[in-house]
Amino acid sequence: MTHATVAGAHGHAPPQGFLRKHVFSLDHKVIGKQYLDLALVAVCTGMVLSWLMRFHLAWPETPIPGLAKLSPNGAAGGVITPEYYLSLMTMHGTIMVFFVLTTAPFAGFGNYFLPIQVGAEDMAFPRINMMSFWVTLVAFLVLISAFVVGDGPPLSGWTAYAPLSAVGKDAGPGQGVGQTLWAVSITLFCVAQLLGALNFVTTTLDLRTKGMSLARMPYSTWAWFITSVIGLIAFAVLMPACILLILDRVAGTSFFIPAGLVISDRLQPHAGGSPLLWQHLFWFFGHPEVYIAILPGFGIISHILPVFARKPLLGPRVLIACLIAIAFLSYTVWGHHMFLSGMNPFSATLFSVPTLVITIPATIVTLLWIGTIYGARLRFTTPALFCLGFVSVFVSGGISGFFLAQPSIDTYLHGTYFVVGHFHFVMGVAAMFGIFAATYFWAPKMFGRMMNETLGKWHFWLTFIGVYCVFMPMHYLGLAGNVRRYSAFTDDYLKPLIPLHRFITIAALCTGAAQLIFLFNLIRSRFRGPQAPDNPWEATSLEWSTTSPPPFDNFGGRPPVVERGPNEYGIASGARGMDYAMQAAAAPVSAR
Amino acid sequence: MTGAPVTTAASPPAQPPAPPTPAAPPVVEQPRPRPSETGVWIAIAAISMTFAALTSAMVVRGSAAADWRHFRLPPILYLNTAVLLASSAVLEAGRRRVAGHLVWVTLGLGLVFVAGQIVAWRQLAAQGLFLATSPSSAFFYVFTALHGLHLLGGLGGLGYVLRRFDAAGPAPVPALGAAALYWHFMDVLWLCVLVLLVLRV
C-alpha cells in the first residue's frame, strides 16, 4: 500500500501535520468520517433525550437522578415539568432530523464514498467541503448550548411553529435565548448543507472518471446526487425563513406574528404577520427533508442488496426513474402536514392527491428490492440483515402513511401517537437501518478492519425486535385517541393506556441498551478488528478496486477506467471464476 | 466522459476505439467540463430559490394584513443599478481579454455599489423607515441586505481571481469565467429585486 507521493491532478498535496491531516483536512474521506463522528455524538444525545421523555411518560412522578443538576428549573427534584418535556422533545427532534438523519447518510457516507464511486480523487471544491463540515459543527454546538444558556432549550418543536417560536420569552421557558439559538443553528446548518450539496452535484456532473457514464453510476451515487439536488432547493427555502424568524425575534418585525396576540397576559407589540406563512415555508422544506433523510437509504439498500443476493438489481433504470419521480413529487406534498392548520379545505384535497401518488414510485422501489432477493441465495451477513430490516420497517411505516394521507382520517389521527409511530418507522428507524447497513458494509473500507459479525447479528435482531415493540403499539395508542406532545396522561380516558406506555418505555430502554453492542463493536473493530481485504464482500463498484482504506488520492495516482455498470452479479463469465465483474476490470492499486 | 454504451452482462466489455485526434491542433481550450463554472450554475439555482421563497413570502405577507405602507424608493438606487451594470460590462471585457486590471475596475465599481446601497439605507432611515416600521420596509431591508451579502461573496471571488493573476503560472481563465458568470447573475438578480421593489413598495 503506497500512500503515494501524488500531487498530480489532485487539487492539493497530501498534508503532513496532524492538524491538516485529521482535523482541518481537505480530504473528503476525513471530512466524511468527521460528519459520521458528529452524527454519532448527536445520535447518542438524541437517544438519551428520548429515554428521559419515555421514562417520564411511563412514571411521571418518579424523579430521575442527576437531572435536577442539568436543569434546576426544568426538572426540579428530578421530575420533568411539562415545559421541560416539550424542550426535550424539541431538542430530540431537531438533533435527530438535522444532525443525524441528514448528517450521517447524506453528508457522512456521501462525502466518503461519492467521489470514490465516480472515480474522482476528491470533491470538486475541497475547501468548500471542509467549510461545510465546520459550519455544521458550529451549528450543532450552537444548538446544544441552549441546554446551558438562558432559560434552557426551546419548546416549540423541531418545526418551530410561529407565533410561539417568534414572540420571545413570553411564550415560555427556553423561548427567549434558547429559541434564538435554535434559529441561528438551523440557519447555519442550511448554509452548510447548501455548500455540501453544491459539491456533491458538481462532483457527480464533472469529475466522473473515464467510462463512468451516468448510466454506470452506482445506485448509492445516484441517490446522493438526487438527494443533493433536493437539498439545494429545500435548504435554500428554509434559510430565508429562519432569517425572517430571527428578525421577528430580535428586530421587532412582524413576518409571522399576527396583530392583537396576547401571550402570558401580555399584548405582543407586533402586527399583521401570518403564522401560516411560516408553516408553508417550513414544510416546503420539511417534506423534502424527509426524502433527504430516506433517499440515501434507498440508494444504500439498492447498492448493498445485490452484493449479498449475488444477483443484479431488478430494474435499475426503473429504480432511478422512481428516485427522480420521488424527488419531483416531494415538492408537491408539503400541505399534507397542514391539514389541520386552518388552510382552505379544498387545498387539503389538492395536497392529498400527490401524497398518494408519491407512494407509487416508493412502492415500485420496494418491489424491485423484493424482486431482487426473490429466488436468490442470500448471504445473511449483518449488512444484508439490516437491508432486509430496512425494507420491513419502511413498508410498516409506509402503510400507515396511506391512512394519514386522507384529510378526513388525518383530522382524527394528526394529533395522536399514530403519527409518532408512522414517522419514526418510515423516516427515523428506516433511515437508521440504512445507516447501520452502510456502516457494517463500508467499515472495512473506511477503517481497513472488519467488524465483528456475531455482535453485528445480535445488534440487528435486538434492534429489529426492539423497534417493533416501541413503535408498533404507538399506532394502537393513536387509534385509541392518545394525544401526542403531552408530558403525562392523567385524563381518565388515557389511564388504561398507561401500562402500554410502560411497555414501550421498557422496550425503548432495552433497544437503546442494544446500541451499546454496536458502539462497542464499532470502536473495538476500528482498532482491533481483523485486517480487511480490498474487496471483502465481492462487490463491483470502484471503492472496492482500491485498498482498504484508500490512499490519499483514492486510487494511487492511477484513475480507474470504468468498463461496465455496477450491476454485474451472478454472471458466469467473471474473471478467475468469479460470479461478478468489477466496474474497473484492472485494479489500479495492487492488492496487498 | 459520456456516450459510451452500457455493456450488459451478456455483452463483452466495450473496446474503446482509439480517438481519432492526430490532426487536432494543440489544445486551445480544455474540452473537459469546468467544475468551477458548474458550481456557479448550481449556486445560481439555489440562490434563485432563496429569493423566490422570499418573494412568495412577500406576496403572502402583503395580503395578510392591511399594514403595508407604500414609500418611494431612494433615487440613488437607480444610480447604483447603473454602476452595477457598468461593472458587469467591464468584467465581461476583462474576461474576454483576460485582463487583470479590468477585474480591478470591477472590484472598485462593486464596492461603489455596496457603498451606494448603504447610502440608500441611511436615506430611508432618515425618513423614519426602519426594519420594523412596516412589512414593506422590512422586506426592502431583507432583500437588499441578502443581495448585498451575496454580492460581497462575488467580490471575494473576484479577489481570489486577482490573487491568481498575481501568482506565477497561467492566467486563471476558468476561475475568471466562473467569477464573471456569478457577477452577471448578481446583476440579473438585482434587476429582479429592483423591479419587485418598484412594483410592491
pLDDT (tens digit per residue) in A36-68: 999 999 999 999 999 999 999 999 989 998 898
Segment B31-35 mean pLDDT? 71
Q: What is the extent of the structural domain holding B115?
A: 70-200
Compute the distance between CA of residue A81 and CA of residue A487 in angstroms, rounded to an integer. 8
Give the model's pLDDT for residue B2.
38
Smallest CA–CA distance, residue A473 to chain B, in Å, is 39
A76 or A15: whose pLDDT is higher? Answer: A76
Report CB contact under 8 Å: A255, B4.
Answer: no
Least confident of A78-87, A271-280, A490-499: A490-499
**CB neighbours of B165 closer than 8 A, spacing ≥ 6?**
B100, B103, B171, B172
pTM of the model: 0.92
Chain A from 339 to 378: CB within 8 A of any B CB: none
Chains A, B: CB contacts within 8 A come to 132
Q: What is the DSSP string of A142-195?
A: HHHGGGTSTT-S--STTTT-TTTTTS-GGG-TTTTHHHHHHHHHHHHHHHHHHH
Smallest CA–CA distance, residue A239 to chain B, in Å, is 8
Segment A386-400 mean pLDDT? 96
Q: pLDDT band for position B33 (50/70/90)?
A: confident
Contacts of A194 in chain B (CB under 8 A): 46
Segment A240-248 mean pLDDT? 96
Chain B from 79 to 118: CB within 8 A of any A CB: none
Compute the distance between CA of residue A161 and CA of residue A275 in angstroms, rounded to an integer. 8
Please state at what angle helix A316-329 crosses helix A359-373, rounded to 10 degrees. 160
Segment A554-576 mean pLDDT? 85
The strand pairing partners of A266, in sequence order, are A263
Contacts of A235 in chain B (CB under 8 A): 46
Give the model's pLDDT for residue A565.
92
Radius of gyration of chain B (CA): 23
Least confident of A1-5, A89-93, A228-232: A1-5
The strand pairing partners of A531, in sequence order, are A449
- CB of A203 within 8 Å of any CB in chain B? yes
Report CB contact under 8 Å: A254, B135.
Answer: yes
At A354, list the grid cell: 400527490
DSSP-derived letter for residue A543 is G
Segment A406-435 mean pLDDT? 95
Query: Quick check: A6 pLDDT over 80?
Result: no
Domain-embedded: residue B160 = yes
Q: Looking at chain A, which residue has its C-alpha nearest residue B59?
A: A277
Give the model's pLDDT for residue A574.
66
At B4, list the grid cell: 459510451
Q: pLDDT band for position B32 (50/70/90)?
A: low
Give the model's pLDDT for residue A76.
85
Domain-embedded: residue B46 = no
Query: Of the candidates B9, B47, B135, which has its C-beta nearest A312's C-beta?
Result: B9
Compute the distance between CA of residue A300 and CA of residue A221 in angstroms, rounded to an integer. 9
Contacts of A559 in chain B (CB under 8 A): none
Query: Of the candidates A233, A259, A277, which has its C-beta nearest B49's C-beta?
Result: A233
CATH number of the domain that residue B162 is part of: 1.20.120.80
Compute the distance between CA of residue A387 and CA of residue A440 in angstroms, rounded to an integer. 11
**CB neighbours of A315 closer than 8 A, spacing ≥ 6?**
A368, A371
Instruction: Suggest the residue from A206, A210, A232, A276 to mutate for an interface test with chain B (most B CBs closer than 10 A).
Output: A206
Task: Look up residue A317 and give its amino acid.
Answer: R
Q: For residue A202, how far is the Cα from the chain centroid?
A: 22
The DSSP H or E segment spanning A266 is strand A266-267
**CB neighbours of A345 closer than 8 A, spacing ≥ 6?**
A407
Domain-embedded: residue B62 = no
Q: Dihedral sign for Cα A383, A388, A389, A390, please.
A: positive
- CB of B23 within 8 Å of any CB in chain A? no
Smallest CA–CA distance, residue B98 to chain A, in Å, is 23
Give the number of other Cβ atoms within 10 Å of residue A265's Cβ: 6
Compute the distance between CA of residue A408 and CA of residue A431 in angstroms, rounded to an integer. 29
Radius of gyration of chain A (CA): 24
Give the model's pLDDT for residue A343.
83
Angle subtended at Cα A177 by Cα A174 and Cα A182, rounded to the nearest 5 degrees: 80
Smallest CA–CA distance, residue B102 to chain A, in Å, is 26
Q: Which of A13-17, A440-444, B25-29 has the highest average model confidence (pLDDT)?
A: A440-444
Residue for grid cell 476583462: B94
Chain B from 117 to 146: CB within 8 A of any A CB: 131-132, 135, 138, 142, 146
Give the number of other Cβ atoms within 10 Å of residue A7's Cβ: 13
- CB of B35 within 8 Å of any CB in chain A? yes
Least confident of A66-80, A118-132, A383-397: A66-80
Q: What are phi and psi of A580, to 5 degrees?
A: -145, 165
Q: Give CA separation, A458 vs A53, A90, B84, in Å.
A: 26, 32, 64
Segment A274-302 mean pLDDT? 96
Give the model's pLDDT for residue A153.
94
Buried b (16+ CB within 10 A) or exposed e, B25-40: eeeeeeeeebbbbbbb
**CB neighbours of B24 closer than 8 A, spacing ≥ 6?**
none
Q: pLDDT band for position B24 (50/70/90)?
A: very low
Q: Tens digits of per-residue pLDDT, B110-168?
A: 999 999 999 999 999 999 999 988 999 999 999 999 999 999 999 999 999 999 888 87
Instruction: Suggest the residue from A122, A129, A191, A202 to mutate for an interface test with chain B (most B CBs closer than 10 A).
Output: A202
Smallest CA–CA distance, residue A99 to chain B, in Å, is 21
Query: Quick check: A369 pLDDT over 70?
Result: yes
Give the model's pLDDT for residue A489.
85
Compute the distance between CA of residue B185 and CA of residue B197 in angstroms, rounded to an integer. 18
Compute the distance between CA of residue A577 and CA of residue B7 in angstroms, rounded to an integer. 20
Give the model's pLDDT for residue B195.
95
Compute the distance between CA of residue B179 and CA of residue B181 in angstroms, rounded to an integer. 5
Give the model's pLDDT for residue B20.
43
**What length does chain B have?**
201
Q: Tens digits of per-residue pLDDT, A166-220?
A: 998 888 888 999 999 999 999 999 999 999 999 999 999 999 999 999 999 999 9
Compute the distance between CA of residue A214 and CA of residue A201 in angstroms, rounded to an integer. 12
- CB of A412 within 8 Å of any CB in chain B? no
Q: Tens digits of per-residue pLDDT, B163-190?
A: 988 887 787 888 999 999 999 999 999 9
Domain-embedded: residue B57 = no
Residue for grid cell 421577528: A248
Segment A78-105 mean pLDDT? 95
Report CB contact under 8 Å: A240, B146.
Answer: yes
Please state at what angle helix A219-250 crosses helix A177-206, rounded to 10 degrees. 150
Domain-embedded: residue B27 = no
Contacts of B138 in chain A (CB under 8 A): 247, 253-255
Q: What number of CA atoms fall less than 13 Å from residue A544's CA on the CB side?
A: 20
Decide: A154 and A174 in contact? Cβ < 8 Å.
Answer: yes
Residue for grid cell 455540501: A196
Chain A from 301 to 320: CB within 8 A of any B CB: 312
Q: Tens digits of per-residue pLDDT, A132-171?
A: 999 999 999 999 999 998 888 999 999 999 999 999 888 8
Compute the distance between CA of residue B183 and CA of residue B166 in angstroms, rounded to an integer. 21
Report CB contact under 8 Å: B60, A206.
Answer: no
Query: Quick check: A587 pLDDT over 70?
Result: no
Predicted ipTM of the assembly: 0.91
Give the model's pLDDT for residue A432.
97
Domain-embedded: residue B10 = no
Report CB contact under 8 Å: B7, A280.
Answer: no
Give the model's pLDDT for residue B152.
96
Give the model's pLDDT for residue A11.
54
Compute the distance between CA of residue B45 and CA of residue B41 in angstroms, rounded to an integer. 6
Omega of the bond leading into A163 within 30 degrees of 0 (cis): yes
Question: Structural domain tally of chain B?
Answer: 1
Smallest CA–CA distance, residue A182 to chain B, in Å, is 20
- CB of A239 within 8 Å of any CB in chain B? yes
Chain A from 108 to 147: CB within 8 A of any B CB: 124-125
Give the model's pLDDT for residue A74.
86
Segment A472-494 mean pLDDT? 90
The DSSP H or E segment spanning A227 is helix A219-250
Q: pLDDT band for position A373 (50/70/90)?
A: very high
Query: Of the candidates B42, B49, B60, which has its C-beta nearest A201's C-beta?
Result: B42
Domain-embedded: residue B89 = yes
Contacts of A276 in chain B (CB under 8 A): 60
- CB of A406 within 8 Å of any CB in chain B? no
What percent of chain A is modeled with pLDDT above 70? 96
Give the model's pLDDT for residue B28.
43
Q: For residue B155, how far is the Cα from the chain centroid?
A: 10
- CB of A575 within 8 Å of any CB in chain B? no
